[in-house]
Amino acid sequence: MRVLLLSLILAGAAATGWGQETEVHLPGGGLFFDVMPRTIEGHILAPVRPLVEWAKGRVVYDRGDVRAYEEGAVRPLIELRVGTNEALLSMTPYTLDLTAEVIDGRLCGPLKFVAEAFGVWVEPKGRGVTLRVPQLNREAHMAIPPDPGSHQSKIWKQLGIRYGLPVPTPVDLVALPHWNLFSVERQRELLADIGREAPTIIEAHWGERSVVGIRVLSDAVDEGAGAASVQVMAKYTDGGVYEDSYSFVLEPDGWRIRRESSAQME
C-alpha cells in the first residue's frame, strides 16, 4: 500500500511539474544590453549585469570590484576587478582573456567566462553566437560585435544613436543627429509626407519611448553595393519588445538608414 501511495504521489508530481521551476516566457529571448558589447582581441566584452541577471544571478558592485552570485547563494560565484585580468571563480584564482572594463558607465567582462560560469552554453557560429540556459529553458541569439573600424562597427554606432545608447542623445535642432541617421532618399520622402518642418519635428519628438536595451541579432554588409541589413531586438521601458529590421545605404558621409520596419514580439 505504501509503495502504491508513493507511486501515485510521484506520478502526480511529474504530471504537475512539482519540484521543477516554472519559467515565465521572455519575449525576444529576454536578454538586452544598454551598452553595446564589443569585440576586443577576438573576444566579446559585454555588460555583466544583464547577462548574469538573465541567468537568474545577481550582481553586487563594490569600489571597482564586481561580485556575481547564483540565485540564493551567499558566496560569490565570480569576482572581477576593473582594469585587471585576474578574477576569482568559485573562490579560485582565474586568469581572464580580457580585462574587465567600465564602458559608458557599465562594468563589462568577457562574455564567455561570465556566461559559462552561470551554466550558459555559448555556441558561436559564423557571425553570430547563441546563448542557452537549458535548465531555465532560455535562449538568445546575438551577432558577434564587429571589429573596430569595420563597416559593421560604423553601422552599430548609428544604431547606438538610433536607440539612445548608452544615454539618449539630447535634442539638437542645429546638428540634427537623429534626422541625419536617414538617407537622402528617405529624408526626401519624410519631407514630402510631413512638410519642411520634418527635421525639427523628428528631432524634437525623438526618444519619447525610452529603450531598456537592445540585442543586435544579425548584420550583413555588401561593401561593393554600398548596402547593409541589420536585425535588432529592442525592449522599451513600457515593457514592449520589438524586432526591428533596417536597410542601410552607404552615402558620402557614412551609413544611413534607408528603410526600417518593426514587429512586436509576444
pLDDT of residue 62: 83
Q: What is the mean pLDDT of the chain?
A: 88
State residue 241 phi and psi, 5-degree precision: -120, 130
User: Does a structural domain hold residue 7?
Assistant: no
Residue 15 confidence (pLDDT): 37
> Does residue 130 share a domain with residue 182?
no
Residue 234: inside a domain, yes or no? yes
Here the CATH number for the domain that contains residue 99 is: 3.30.457.10
90 and 158 part of one domain: no
User: Do 178 and 256 fall into the same domain?
Assistant: yes
Alpha carbon distance 131, 124 (integer Å): 9
* Alpha carbon separation from 221 to 156, 227, 262 (Å, rounded): 12, 6, 20
Instruction: Say yes or no: 204 and 169 in one domain.
Output: yes
Range of the domain at 184: 151-264
Backbone angles phi, psi at 53, to 5 degrees: -65, -30
Do 42 and 127 lie in one domain? The reply is: yes
Give the phi and the psi of residue 213 in degrees, each rounded to 5. Answer: 180, 170
pLDDT at residue number 19:
41
Predicted local confidence at residue 18, as pLDDT? 38
State how far the Cα of 215 lies from the Cα of 129, in Å rounded to an integer.
12
Of the three residues 123, 143, 163, the one that is the final residue of a domain is 143
Report the C-alpha gap between 205 and 227 in whole angstroms: 28
- pLDDT tens for 111-135 read 999 999 999 999 999 999 999 999 8
- To the question of pTM greater than 0.85 for the whole model, the response is yes
Instruction: Find the helix packing angle between 198-205 and 184-194, rounded to 10°.
Output: 100
pLDDT digits (tens, 9 = 90+) for 2-18: 333 333 333 333 333 33
CB hemisphere CA count around 102 (13 angstroms): 8
Residue 159: predicted pLDDT: 95
Rounded Cα distance between 175 and 262, Å, is 27
Say how many domains are in the chain.
2
The reply to whether 72 falls in a domain is yes
Domain boundary among 143, 174, 200: 143
Residues 211 and 242 in one domain: yes
Run of H or E including 257: strand 254-264
Query: Is 8 inside any structural domain?
Result: no
Do 213 and 185 lie in one domain? The reply is yes
Same-domain status, 123 and 168: no
Closest CA to 34 of 261, 229, 237: 237
